Structure 1
Amino acid sequence: MLSFNGNSINHCLSCLFILKKMLADDHQRLYLVGINGEWVGYAEVCEVARDRLSGHYTADKNDLGWHLLLAEAQDVGKGYLRAIMRLLSFFIFEHSPAKKIVGEPDASVKPYEVVAQEFNYMPQYQIVMPEKLQCYIFVTKKGFIVSLPII
């Protein structure tokens, strides 16, 4: 079961209100993330030029960004981040005109930094947000493609 801050999302009215608001926001798309038949989190793909991140760099109208939340503590550390980040990046580049993907992971979550560099996401600088210190990272389509293994 998905949870938000330790509470079941099915029993948290404030969480449902937030979810309803997010679903109505046309600058982003929400995706449930499942692995091996289990829901492990969700991802947001957003138009960066219309996102709060646009106040921190000059975004191209086609730049897309992502936010990722792994839902349960037991899903952290299983290698899901690598698989999800690869799939999410591939999905964005294959199904949009984006030439750049922007991420803004929490600067205190070191696995993001390691995995992001594997896919040629380049760290830029840190941004202070009300809820976290985030690291602004990006990857170009060409940079991402060359990071993929040749099959």
Structure 2
Amino acid sequence: MSPPAAPAGPALQGDWAPVATPAGEFQLVPVRPEHDLPTLTRWMNDPVVAAFWELAGDESVTARHLAPQLSGGSHSTPCIGVLSGTPMSYWELYRADLDPLARHYPARPHDMGVHLLIGEARHRGRGTGTALLRAVAGLVLDHVPLCTRVVAEPDLRNAPSVSAFLSAGFRLAAEVELPEKRAALMVRDRTHRPLP
């Protein structure tokens, strides 16, 4: 994968260097639709992903999902997760306090949120998600000084996702009713830095 152009959105302020994880070297690379759209569309059509992301369809469906995030005023940055040189996951880093999610929990200024999917099935169910969540939460807390916690709201029915967040040092803060799902509000505080 070639080096990214200037990062999109507010979450990635400059290039974030690769980090070592138990699963291999990992890096977040801002999405480049002209390059990444076919891969993202394939991932969105995987039945395991489609069950929770509900973005199955042709490339236009994925493009419509990405477009608002790639606009100049977005509070979200879509990224490809590259593990040992291979794209394998999709991430959205966003200002949770500026997101509609903030209406459903006691948001703090500069809360950062994370959405993710493991696109390549061979990386599911092996602890890879836990290792990468731990790494990404660490990256956010290291690179966004005003952020005191990272939040996420996986669907409560997605037991593997909730388990990965818990294993990565997040805590279950609440169950919240969102317009599209009942979610587990997961929180990783800056003071909690689990061992690798």
Class of the TM-score when normalised by the shorter of the 2 chains: 0.7 to 0.9
Which residue among 105, 115, 135 is the counterpart of 1:57?
A: 105
Distance 1:13 1:132 in 2: 24
Q: What CA deviation, in whole Å up to 9, does each residue of 1:30-84 have, x standing for no partner?
A: 2110112221121111111111210012212111111112224343223220121
The match for 2:188 among 139, 146, 150 is: 139
1:21 maps to which of 65, 68, 84: 68
Distance (Å, rounded) in 2 between the aligned partners of 1:17 and 1:119:
31
Match for residue 128 of structure 1 among 177, 185, 191: 177
Partner of 1:5: 45
Checking the alignment, whether the CA contact within 8 Å between 1:119 and 1:148 is kept in structure 2 is: no
Work out the CA distance in 1 between the residues paired with 2:64 and 2:164. Answer: 32
Matched, 1:31 2:79: yes
Runs of 4 or more above 6 Å deviation:
none
Percent identical: 24
Secondary structure of the residue aligned to 1:13 is helix
8 Å CA contact retained: 2:79, 2:91 = yes
Residue 17 of structure 1 aligns with an amino acid whose one-letter code is R
Provide Cα deviations, 1:6-26, integer angstroms capped at 9, x if missing partner. 49x9x5212212212221152
- Quote the RMSD (CA, aligned, Å): 2.3
Task: Work out the CA distance in 2 between the residues paired with 1:69 and 1:137.
Answer: 16
Letter aligned with residue 45 of structure 2: N
SS of the equivalent of 2:92 reads: strand
Q: TM-score, length-normalised on structure 1?
A: 0.83
Name the CA distance, whole Å, in 2 between partners of 1:79 and 1:71.
14
Equivalent residue number for residue 107 of structure 1: 156
Unaligned runs of 5+ in 2: 1-38, 51-55
Amino acid at match of 1:142: T
2:170, 2:187 within 8 Å by CA — same for their partners in 1?
yes
C-alpha separation in 2, matches of 1:37 and 1:80: 15
In structure 2, C-alpha distance between the alignment counterparts of 1:116 and 1:13, rounded to whole Å: 30
Specify the alignment match of 1:73 in structure 2. Answer: 121
